[in-house]
Amino acid sequence: LHSGSRKEQLVNVVHKHFASQAHHTSAARNRNIQHQIDLVLGASLPNLPHYKMSPKENLILQEQVEDLLNKGLTRESMSPFAVLALLVPKKTVVGECDEWKTAFKTKDGLYEWLVMPFGLSNAPSTFSRLMNQVLKPFISSFVVVYFDDILIYSKSEKEHLKHLREVLIALSQNKLYINLKKCNFLTDKLLFWGFVITFHGIRVDEDKVRAIREWPKPQGISEVRSFHGLATFCRRFIRNFSTIMALITWCMKKGKFEWGKEADESCHTSKICLCSGMVTMGCDFMVQQTRYRKRP
């Protein structure tokens, strides 16, 4: 933060919209995005017993269930469907008539979710759709959203506070809450999904660079695939990446693993390129561009 006044403005903006983060589903029930659960025709319904727990663990589970009941996130159930307790609440509503498919069993009874719990198949996709709908007016203008991570970018602190206020209002109106302990505000450097984003551009997180640099010589196809996967994560930073990695890619295609001198040299070259601290810059489409083409 470059000034005390900006800090005060930031605190006021956040406090105004998230002074009370009460968790309830009154607004969530009015959303047009609901998580649907499709069953496989002819498949048997699971009805699993609850975990055996110590008295202390049972008490914690009972308190959590009562808290979820009071908040309107779950309700008592008569479902023939029952799985092991999984108590990590989300804020996307389960579709009507699908609640019974989320039933879970505890020592004290059977309950079903009214909101989408952690662990459901396709739950990330549903939540991603919700986030994109809520923040749609801002995406590509000053917001990037990936699942539950929101990146707000601006040209100045004043503009950033304005953008932040608009995003917080949208989240507050949809009863979506932020975890302040995981937030960074008014910063010029940010780690976002494995990339370090600054004013100068984007580069790979140093932890990933170090992992590539210290990667030992592969002893099998699985290790080659692991290295290739990590290197591919950084491919946008390396010109002619496919050519540099060609021999390593070839080692994964053969039936019998062979790691020769050429593959070793290719691995060494790729490490040098990947660890050279290359940074990608944002493209200015008002400037004449040069396109590189492969020779025929």
Residues 16-60: pLDDT tens digits? 766 545 444 444 554 566 666 667 777 776 666 766 667 777 777
> What does the alpha-carbon distance between residue 238 and residue 211 come to, in Å, rounded to a whole number?
17
Domains along the chain with CATH numbers? 4-20+124-187 (no CATH), 36-119 (3.10.10.10), 204-274 (3.30.70)
How long, in residues, is the chain? 296
Task: Determine the pLDDT at residue 136.
Answer: 93
User: Of all helices (H) and strands (E), which one includes residue 68?
Assistant: helix 55-70
Q: What pLDDT is recorded for position 3?
A: 54
Q: Who wins on pLDDT, 79 or 192?
A: 192
Residue 293 predicted with pLDDT over 70: no
Name the pLDDT band for 285 (thresholds 50, 70, 90). very low
pLDDT at residue number 167: 93
Strand, helix or coil for residue 91: coil
pLDDT of amino acid 89: 47
Structure confidence by residue, pLDDT tens digits, 97-142: 666 566 676 777 777 767 776 666 677 777 888 889 899 999 989 9
Q: What percent of the chain shows pLDDT beyond 90? A: 8
Report the side by side order of strands in the sheet with 104-106: 74-76, 109-113, 104-106, 83-84
pLDDT score at 295: 47
- Which pLDDT value is given to residue 152? 93
Between CA 136 and CA 173 the distance in angstroms is 14
Average pLDDT, the chain: 76
The Cα-based distances of 225 to 56, 207, 219, 250, 253 in angstroms read: 44, 19, 11, 11, 10
Average pLDDT score over residue span 179-193: 87
